[in-house]
Amino acid sequence: MARMALRTAALLAAGSLLGACSTAGSSGPAGSSRVIQVAAAENFWGSIAAQVGGRHVHVISIITNPNTDPHSYEPTAVDARIFAGAGLVIENGIGYDPWAARLLGADQGQQTVLNVGAALGVPDDGNPHRWYNPADVRAVIRLLAADYGKLDPADKAYFARRRAVFTSAGLRKYFSLIAAIKARYRGTPVGASESIFAMLAPALGLKLLTPYSFLRAISEGTEVSAADKQTVDNQISHHLIKIYVYNSQNVTPDVQAQLAAAKAAHLPVATITETLTPPTSSYQAWQVRQLEGIEAALARASGR
């Protein structure tokens, strides 16, 4: 059912794209400037790309359904046409969306490709969840504005302004919440269900105690060691962590057991998700809601 919903959405989006243009770098209505067609593998990068590009870009994201696993997604013929018709393709890389690289290899087009992991210099075995790292988000915004300027030199100054406004105004509450949490709760020991939070915790000044081997196993769907399970169970039952943060889009039996243990131990729990929730949300609105949830959990844990 989830795959059918995604395919229907993609067909509608592709129809809009292909009806508007047949080339990667087409013009808009008479008298307007060029509109760059952008294909984003995932909607979190797509949201950012649309806001940096403004009226001079048209962005379609492939992964939009919260129930879809980007790691194992099987692209459709519609997805291939979207990629082929794009002037800029954004893929996360770092093994997160291998299907995107396959589509690009099959197309052999002339698109500009922003591979986030490669652009940031992340090793192949690194944490792929770069959209949860505020510093990396800033870097991707800069890269997008630069790529847009190269594809559409006449509007380079426009993209520079969009970048500045999005960073300073659009993301103001996002960055201010990060700073506030860091100032108030720096050094607080916390636990998490998977490696998404390993990107955000340091930015918040929090001390993530969950073994990274556990976080990575849950994220990648591999076997969790008995030793790691015991460590996490001990951290929860003995209140060695103050809050537990979990990805509600990936609740494995191990995570379910930990959530039950956290509830029994009266440990505050905060929820995050892997992709935009709801799918129509902007990147910053989504992140702000999650940060507010983390802040509220920390306040309950500390009594303030």
CATH number for the domain that contains residue 120: 3.40.50.1980
Q: Flag whether pLDDT at 296 surpasses 90.
A: yes
15 with 61, same domain: the answer is yes
- Do 121 and 24 have their domain in common? yes
- Is 164 found in the same domain as 189? no
Average pLDDT across the chain, whole number: 89
Regarding whether 158 and 15 lie in a shared domain, the answer is yes
pLDDT at residue number 109: 67
pLDDT, tens digit, for every residue of 226-283?
999 999 999 999 999 999 999 999 999 999 999 999 999 999 999 999 999 999 999 9
Binned at pLDDT 50, 70 and 90, residue 79 comes out as: very high
Tell me: do 191 and 59 sit in the same domain.
Answer: no
pLDDT of 298 higher than 70? yes
- Say how far apart CA 114 and CA 92 lie, in whole Å: 8
The number of folded domains in the chain is 2
- Whether pLDDT at 35 is above 70: yes
Report which of residues 105 and 74 the model is more confident about: 74
In the predicted model, what is the mean pLDDT of residues 190-219? 97
Percent of the chain with pLDDT over 90: 82
Rounded to whole angstroms, how far apart are CA atoms 148 and 87? 9
Residue 96 CA to residue 71 CA, distance in Å, equals: 5
To which H or E segment does residue 58 belong?
strand 57-63
0.75 cut: is pTM over it? yes
> What confidence tier does 54 reach under pLDDT thresholds 50, 70, 90?
very high
Residue 174 lies in a domain: no
Helix ranges restricted to H, 94-195: 98-107, 116-120, 134-151, 156-165, 172-185
265 and 124 share one domain? no
Is residue 110 situated within a structural domain? yes
Position 187 pLDDT exceeds 60: yes
User: What is the percent of the chain where pLDDT is above 70?
Assistant: 88
The parent domain of residue 215 ranges over 183-302
Residues whose CB falls within 8 Å of the CB of residue 14, separated by 6 or more in sequence, listed in order: 60, 78, 81, 82
Does residue 290 have a pLDDT over 90? yes
pLDDT band at 105 (very low <50, low <70, confident <90, very high): confident
pLDDT band at 108 (very low <50, low <70, confident <90, very high): low
Q: How far apart are CA 261 and CA 203, in angstroms?
A: 27
Q: Which of 120, 145, 168 is a domain's end point?
A: 168
3-class state of residue 8 by DSSP: helix
Q: What is the pLDDT confidence band of residue 304, given thresholds at 50, 70 and 90? A: low
What whole-number distance in Å separates Cα of residue 231 and Cα of residue 100? 36
Among 27-41, 72-86, 232-246, the least confident range: 27-41
**Predicted pLDDT of residue 69:** 81
Confidence of residue 106 (pLDDT cuts 50, 70, 90): low
- Is residue 261, in this structure, part of any structural domain at all? yes
Distances (CA, A) of 110 to 21, 84, 96, 146, 196: 16, 9, 23, 17, 33
Residue 293's H or E segment, with its range, is helix 283-302
- How far does CA 155 lie from the centroid of its chain? 27
Residues 134 and 267 reside in one and the same domain: no
Same domain assignment for residues 51 and 141: yes
pLDDT tens for 118-159 read 999 999 999 999 999 999 999 999 999 999 999 999 999 999
